[in-house]
Structure 1
Amino acid sequence: MAGAQEMAEGVVYADISFPPPAPTAALQRLPSSSWRRVALGLALLCILLLAALLGLGLHLHLHRRVGSCAPKLRSMEQSLEHRLQQQERFLAGRCRFCPASWLGDAGKCYYFSSAKRDWAQSKEDCCSRGAQLVTVRANATLAFLQRVSKSNTFHIGLKKERAGLDWKWVDGSALNRLFPVTRSTASYLACGRVSGRGLSGGSCTDPCRWICEQSALTLQWGLGSAPPTFLWGNTTYTCIDPQ
């Protein structure tokens, strides 16, 4: 009994510590500065991939917009209105907006070119602006175009494909003889024009100025402030008709 007690009292306790695991040979050979360079390279790669994805998305958006030649102005209007509402808490008025240097009339925006191109090139230019070659639906519109055109001649969105067919607008609707068209070419294929004298037809390959048309954007602006001017994409919009 006494021997067992001595053995219990003779137990020696010791703290045992294990050395940390040795790093692998690859990690030992890689200094801390190299780790920083690797991390920086990975971060730059992520940024470049994100920029590429954003660029691809923007390219597809512009391709759909230009290729269809039918701008989604309502969705643009809603987005712009939402932006202005975030900037102004109290809304007091509304305004019709057109791109800077465009003319406004009766809720429409009109671009009168100074350069000259054939009819097809003029149509493509309007598409690239999110618009179309102008169409005439009312006598008031024709009077406005004549007043601005004066002695100049402009391509419009009117075309006659061959003999026996009526004049048609770029949206496919027929002119239906609502407005007289003076023919100035012997070819069956003719494209419409407008000047101070009214509507006329001529060769589609003749270089002329052209008129683009799009709907004005109706937005709100803040209490006590002047109607705003804002940038959307690469286009500056200005208020043409405060309400």
Structure 2
Amino acid sequence: MAGEVLYADLKLPGASSQPPCLASGQTQPQCPQWHRPALRVSGVLNLLLLLAVIALSVFGFLCNQEKVPTKSNKPLETTSSTKYGNSCTSPATAAPCPCLPGNGSCPMNWLRHKGKCYYFSRDTERSWSRSREDCAERDSQLLLIQEQEEKDFIHHQAGARYHWIGLHIPAPGRNWTWLDDSPFNQTLVSVSGSMGQDQCVAVDKSRFYSDSCSSLYEWICQKEAKK
């Protein structure tokens, strides 16, 4: 018939003819009593899960930030935790740590302390004159000690083995003399042993000892750190 609209109910196989939670003969849905509490619990669990995901994301971000090196204008250096503070040092029983390039830097395998670089020969022994030559080849000189703090540092690094330093008797009748002719402070450096011609001084962890300059010891070179 023209102008008439036909309506038909579409029923799928297995589909119920009643709306969810609607019992037979009822006009309003009647859901089980546990339905709403279950929805509330589900909502709380979802919220807790979301908060846990956010917390893990923030924690991961902070951990990654700690691993990223920060920029600094200070020179790179390897430092020790000893009382000598800003020194590039290692225990006396171990090989010296390398000083990295930068302002106030030292060559590889040298120790940096208070603006100076120190080279300790390890497992190699020479006479005093040959030790002096080695230092010259390294653009440095045998160690000259001028202050108490430097003296303490050298004792700490020398350990139980004697090392030649730049202190000797240059001629008969002369007193102990530094290689650069700087004043000798007997209170600062008290030398034990004989005193005479062809006598040179070596240092260990506790004292300064004089011996024949032809004796074989390890040695310490010294020079200013690069600015």
TM-score, normalising length: structure 1:
0.49
Q: Distance in 2 between matches of 1:163 and 1:142?
A: 27
The one-letter amino acid paired with 1:209 is E
Q: Distance in 1 between matches of 2:158 and 2:193?
A: 18
Q: Which residue of 137, 157, 163 maps to 2:166?
A: 157
Paired residues, number: 129
> 1:150-178 CA distances to partner (integer Å, 9 max, x unpaired)?
10100000011345322111112231324
> 1:104-161 CA distances to partner (integer Å, 9 max, x unpaired)?
1110000000210000000000000000001000001110000011101000000113
The percentage of counterpart residues that share the same residue type is 30
> 1:20-42 CA distances to partner (integer Å, 9 max, x unpaired)?
xxxxxxxxxxxxxxxxxxxxxxx
Q: Which residue of 88, 100, 108 maps to 1:100?
A: 108
Query: 1:186/1:168 Cα in 2 relative to 1: closer, same or farther (>3 Å)?
Result: closer
Unaligned runs of 5+ in 1: 1-90, 219-243
Unaligned runs of 5+ in 2: 1-71, 76-102
Could you say which residue in structure 2 is the equivalent of 1:60?
none
Q: Does 2:193 align with 1:184?
A: yes
Q: Distance in 2 between matches of 1:116 and 1:178?
A: 28
Q: Which has the higher helix share?
A: 1
Q: Does 2:206 align with 1:197?
A: yes
Tell me, what secondary structure is at the counterpart of 2:125? Answer: coil
* Equivalence map 1:32-47=2 (5 Å): none
The one-letter amino acid paired with 1:112 is F
Q: Does 2:117 align with 1:109?
A: yes
Could you say which residue in structure 2 is the equivalent of 1:67?
none
Tell me, what secondary structure is at the counterpart of 1:101? Answer: coil
Tell me, what secondary structure is at the counterpart of 2:106? Answer: strand
CA apart distance, 1:93? 4.1
Q: Distance in 1 between matches of 2:158 and 2:74?
A: 32
Could you say which residue in structure 2 is the equivalent of 1:228?
none
More deviation in 120-129 or 170-179? 170-179
Q: Does 2:213 align with 1:214?
A: no
Query: 1:166/1:186 Cα in 2 relative to 1: closer, same or farther (>3 Å)?
Result: closer
Q: Distance in 2 between matches of 1:165 and 1:173?
A: 14
More deviation in 169-178 or 103-112? 169-178
Q: With a CA cutoff of 8 Å and minimum separation of 6, indicate the structure with the bigger relative contact order.
A: 1
Q: Which residue of 137, 144, 147 maps to 1:128?
A: 137
TM-score, normalising length: structure 2:
0.52
Larger Rg: 2
Superposition RMSD on alpha carbons, in Å? Answer: 2.1
Tell me, what secondary structure is at the counterpart of 2:220? Answer: strand
CA apart distance, 1:193? 1.0
Q: Distance in 1 between matches of 2:130 and 2:217?
A: 10
CA apart distance, 1:187? 4.3
Q: Distance in 2 between matches of 1:198 and 1:139?
A: 13
The one-letter amino acid paired with 2:199 is A
> 1:61-111 CA distances to partner (integer Å, 9 max, x unpaired)?
xxxxxxxxxxxxxxxxxxxxxxxxxxxxxx944532001111111100000
Q: Distance in 2 between matches of 1:195 and 1:178?
A: 17
